[in-house]
Structures are given as structure tokens and as C-alpha cells.
Amino acid sequence: MSNIPTLKPIQIGPITLAHPTALAPMEGVTDKAFRNLIRNLGGCGLTVTEFISSESLTRQDQKAWKMAEIDPDEHPVSIQIYGREPEKMAIAAREAQELGADIVDLNLGCPSKQVTSGCSGSALMKEPDRAAAIFKAVKQAISVPMTVKMRLGWDDDHLNAPDIALMAQDAGASMIVVHGRTRTQMYKGLADWSKVKAVKANIQVPLLVNGDILTAQDAVHALKESSADGVMVGRGSLRDPWILNRISHHLRSEIFEEPSLDQRHQHLLTYFGILRQGVKSDQQALGRIKKVIGMFTRGLALGDELREKIFHLYEIEAIYDVLADYFDQLKRNQLDDSFAHLNQAIAPSELISAQQEKYIVYQRQYDQNR
Ligand SMILES: Cc1cc2nc3c(=O)[nH]c(=O)nc-3n(C[C@H](O)[C@H](O)[C@H](O)COP(=O)(O)O)c2cc1C
């Protein structure tokens, strides 16, 4: 087990993470229900809300408030905001703190032109002065820790994450997260964990490495290549909701006990139950339920058949019946080990979801409008 890096506990200001792992913010995915589901499965050091526009948070927009909602038991949790006006970002950060955030995270990783106020996200990496003004304004406005999530840079010729991270640290940021891709890469190619190392060399505050971590082995490689203090996992948690717990066990050289088929089935039902509580009608939950079943069963025995069946169903109870039959069938055929592939690598491109495509569309629109 000597190939597993020894990690120090991650300290974000006064907050100590129980595990060196975080669930990545994912718009349209990591709402309160999903975050709690992952947290309850264990091994999760930190959760982060979906990105919330500073504009809408300061306007006290209902949707933004819903996105910022956190569960009383959900700690530590970070509310992520984005925007390009330092004053608005400061007000939004204060709002996030008042809404109960333990940490306020600033998004320098993804631009969303959907938000009309001009854009922010990774574009700020091209505007270091503006980014610095935002860091300063936000830091002054809050007493909880500020963290920053970014990409490696705009493109291969501008890998300035080390400079921006240092700038953030100098302004008082307590942790940095780096997704090992450039902005122009969007989600193409593979995350380059080794390029994150230059960020680590430039800062003293903790660093999380992010991008394409799909297995516990990936986490070890990412940590070794980047020298980061912990990992942040996004899409991997959709395919394998236990991934953070799996990683935490692996990093402590402990055996992870695979959940049984019954536990997996129950996990889905619990999640769907929470989802249904959070929406006005079942119709609203239907698409999400189908999507999650699709992600969860990708590559599993009989998964294709299941997806084909549920695709044509429009009643949640009917989907539950088909799902129950599916798990029964796995048990009857003793296909418990059909989940073993979760420890094997799969191409991150297989994890592209409709939501991610939407996210990419925002980025394209943003580029065209600049
Ligand atoms: C559907 C989707 C939505 C995302 N939304 C956000 C977001 O709101 N804020 C953010 O900082 N990053 C967002 N990201 C980027 C992820 O946090 C993460 O950096 C990226 O997916 C790479 O990590 P992964 O390979 O573990 O998924 C999103 C990614 C996806 C796929």
C-alpha cells in the first residue's frame, strides 16, 4: 500500500474536513437531495452547491434561493457563486453566508452566458485584475472561509492557474480547487493532473485536484501526479454514488465493503423519494429519475434492457416496478459482481449527460457573445 500518498487533514480556515474528498458542484445535478444522498453514503468531506449567479442571489430570486438551500445536517457545505462585478459578488457572498454556508466558493471554472450580466467563470482567468478585485471584495464581506475553483487556464498558451491561485491565496482564500483542463478544452481530452502540480508549488493553502476521477485508483494517480491535498469528484459520483467513500477507504488502506444489490436498489428509491418531495409534480421528477437510472446502470449487466424499458414509461410507479424486476433479475442470476466494473476505468466521455451538454452550450454562447 506504499503507493498510496499519506495526506494531512484538510483545514479550510477553522474547518477541518473529515475526509480529503469533495463532491464537485454540478449544475442541475448537485441539488440538496443529491448532495445529501452522497454525504449519507459516507466518505464525503465537503459538498458544494450548484453555481449560483451573484446577480440572482442579490435580487433574491426564488430559483437562486432554492439552489442555495442547504440541509441543517449538511456540514461542511460550500455555496458557490459566480459573477463579474466585485460589489455584487461581495453582496452575494454575504447572502450565502447568511443562508448558512460554512464556506463561500468562487467559480472561476465555468462561464454561463445564460446569465445575462456578461460573464464570469473561467473568463475571469483572462482578467486577473478583475479576479483580484472580486477576491478582495468577497473576502472583506464575509467571515466564513472563501475558496476558489478554477481550470488550468484559458488555453494551453495561458496556463495561469498557479498565478491566479496565488493571487487568491494572497487575498485570503483558504483553499483552491483545480480542474485539470483548460477552458478551451471544455470537456474534451483528459484532465491533466500533472499540470495541477504547478499550482501546488505556488501556494500554501490546501489544494484539491479535480477532473476525470472515476475510481479510487484514479484518485491515487491524481493525488500523486498533482501533489494535491485531496480530490474533488463530479461525474464519477453519478455512475458510482459510493465513489467518495470508496476513495476515502482506499486512501486509508481500508477495505471498502461493496454495497449489496438490495442496498443499491434502496439507494435509488431513497434518492427518488427525496427528489419527489422537492418538486411540485411527479412529472417534474420523471426526467431526472430516468436520467439517474441511466447513469447508474451504464455498463451494468442487463442495463441496456432496463434503460430501453424505462425510456417508454411515463409513470413513476411503473418505473419503480421495472426497477424492482431488474434488481430481482440480477439477484436470480447471481449477477452481484456485475458492479465490479466500477473499479475499472471507463472513458469520461461516456459520462456526458444532457445537463453537461447544456453546460457546454452555455460556454459556446458565451464565446460567441464576447
Ligand atoms: C453537468 C455539469 C454541471 C456542472 N456545473 C458546475 C458548477 O455549477 N460549478 C462548477 O464549478 N463546476 C461545474 N461543473 C464542473 C465540475 O464541477 C467539474 O469541475 C468537472 O465536471 C470535472 O470533474 P469530473 O470529471 O469529476 O466531473 C459542472 C460539470 C457538469 C458535468
CATH number at residue 246: 3.20.20.70
Collect all residues with Cβ–Cβ distance below 8 Å to 119 and sequence separation of at least 6: 84, 111, 112, 113, 366, 369, 370
The rounded Å distance from CA 352 to ligand 1 centre is: 11
Same domain, 106 and 209: yes
Same domain, 222 and 296: no
Specify whether the CB–CB gap between 31 and 55 falls below 8 A. Answer: no
Residue 150 has pLDDT above 60, yes or no: yes
Residue nearest to atom 14 of ligand 1 (CA): 26
The domain tally of the chain equals 2
Closest listed residue to residue 207, CA positions, set 125, 149, 121, 132: 149
Within a domain: 361: no
81: cell is 457563486
Domain C-terminal end among 251, 286, 316: 251
Strand partners, 207: 176
Report pLDDT digits (tens) over 66-80.
999 999 999 999 999
Antiparallel, parallel or unpaired: β 15-16 and 207-210: unpaired
Same domain, 243 and 278: no
Closest listed residue to residue 155, CA positions, set 196, 178, 185, 175: 185
Same domain, 17 and 104: yes
Tell me, what's the pLDDT at 301? 81
Within a domain: 343: no
Average pLDDT over residues 32-50: 94
Q: Which among 21, 23, 26, 352 is the best mutation to test ligand 1's pocket, defined by most ligand atoms within 8 Å of the CB?
A: 26
Q: Is the pTM of this model over 0.95?
A: no
Same domain, 266 and 246: no
Q: Which residues line ligand 1 (CB under 6 A)?
A: 24-29, 50-51, 80, 107, 109-110, 149, 179, 210-213, 233-236, 348, 353, 355-356, 359
Same domain, 230 and 108: yes
Residue 128 has pLDDT above 60, yes or no: yes
Domain membership of residue 275 as a residue range: 261-338
Within a domain: 2: no
Residue 1 has pLDDT above 50, yes or no: no
Largest CA distance in the chain: 62
Average pLDDT over residues 264-290: 87
Residue 142 has pLDDT above 90, yes or no: yes
Tell me, what's the pLDDT at 370? 41
Report pLDDT digits (tens) over 302-356.
888 998 999 899 999 999 999 999 999 988 887 665 565 555 544 444 544 555 5
Residue 165 confidence class, pLDDT cut points 50, 70, 90: very high
